Amino acid sequence: MPVVDLAETTKRDLNAQLHALPADTNATHWTVENSEGQHALAVGLDVPITVEINGHAGYYCAGMNKQATVVVDGNVGVGVAENMLSGKVHVKGDASQSAGATAHGGLLVIDGDASARCGISMKGVDIVVKGSIGAMSAFMAQSGNLVVLGDAGDALGDSIYEARLYVRGTVKSLGADCIEKELRDEHKADLRRLLDAAGLDETVSVADFRRYGSARGLYNFHVDNSSAY
């Protein structure tokens, strides 16, 4: 299985090699050493391979991912898995701001904490954060699921559309048009699916979560709501 040492190979060569792989490649497991927090690692992948990054990654790690599984054994910078379409990104450490921003699909799992704006403008992605998330997370979140085992910061789900938010811990405050909603059986089943996908067993109970979503009060602009913005 290929091992790419970024102390010897440039990031540009790494990404180019990964982009050049045919859909039926036998080189399905790649290891990246000495990542040293470089930006834009393993971006734009579109093959069903696994890329393990042993170390920290900078901004936009696994950006616009399709099909691939990218595992980071370290922390990641801003915008991990931004605009992901499919596949899976697993961060074993913490994530900086805008994790999973605008992502349309796939699964993003963060073992540690995620900073502000986690899931901003998300468009269908599933995000599971085993720690806590920062302020303004799920801002303008359109669809998909954000699961947080820890706490959420200020203004969770501000101006949210149809995304579903599940938080086990405390929520410091909810943003405009975001409200707590009933956790029905269908949501519990979906939440269980997401927890399973993130490798969490039954010791994490879906009953401990609360669900948040859109009040749909700001979907069409009305002057009487102007003070809400």
Partner 1 sequence: MDLENIPQTLPRFSATFDPHTLAEIRRAAATGIYDIRGGGTKRKLPHFDDLLFLGASVSRYPLEGYREKCATDVWLGTRFAKKPIHLKTPVTIAGMSFGALSGAAKEALGRGATIAGTSTTTGDGGMTPEERGQSQTLIYQYLPSRYGMNPDDLRRADAIEVVVGQGAKPGGGGMLLGQKISDRVAMMRNLPKGIDQRSACRHPDWTGPDDLEIKIEELREITDWEKPIYVKVGATRPYYDVALAVKSGADVVVLDGMQGGTAATQDVFIEHVGIPILAAIRPAVKALQDLGMHRKVQLIVSGGIRSGADVAKALALGADAVAIGTAALVALGDNDPAYEEEYRKLGSTAGAYDDWQEGRDPAGITTQDPELAARLDPVQAGRRLANYLSVLTLEAQTIARACGKSHLHNLEPEDLVALTLEASAMAGVPLAGTNWIPGQTF
Which chain residues interact with partner 1 by CB under 8 A? 11-12, 15-16, 19, 39-40, 43-44, 46, 58-60, 63-64, 66, 78-79, 82-83, 85, 97-98, 101-102, 104, 117, 120-121, 123-124, 139-140, 142-143, 159, 161-162, 219-221, 223
Cβ closest to partner 1, residue 26 vs residue 220: 220
**Judging by beta carbons within 10 Å of its beta carbon (0-12, 13-18, 19+), is residue 15 exposed, middle or buried?**
middle
Question: In whole angstroms, how close is the CB of 11 to partner 1 at the nearest point?
Answer: 7
Cβ closest to partner 1, residue 199 vs residue 229: 229
Question: In whole angstroms, how close is the CB of 54 to partner 1 at the nearest point?
Answer: 20
What does the H/E/C string look like for 145-176? EEEECCCECCCECCCCCCCEEEECCCECCECC
Cβ pair 76, 60 in contact under 8 A: no
Cβ closest to partner 1, residue 124 vs residue 157: 124
Question: In whole angstroms, how close is the CB of 206 to partner 1 at the nearest point?
Answer: 26
**Judging by beta carbons within 10 Å of its beta carbon (0-12, 13-18, 19+), is residue 35 exposed, middle or buried?**
buried
Using alpha carbons, select from 159, 135, 161, 158 the residue that is nearest to residue 148: 135
For residues 212 and 164, what is the distance between their CA atoms, to the nearest angstrom?
Answer: 6
Question: In whole angstroms, how close is the CB of 223 to partner 1 at the nearest point?
Answer: 4
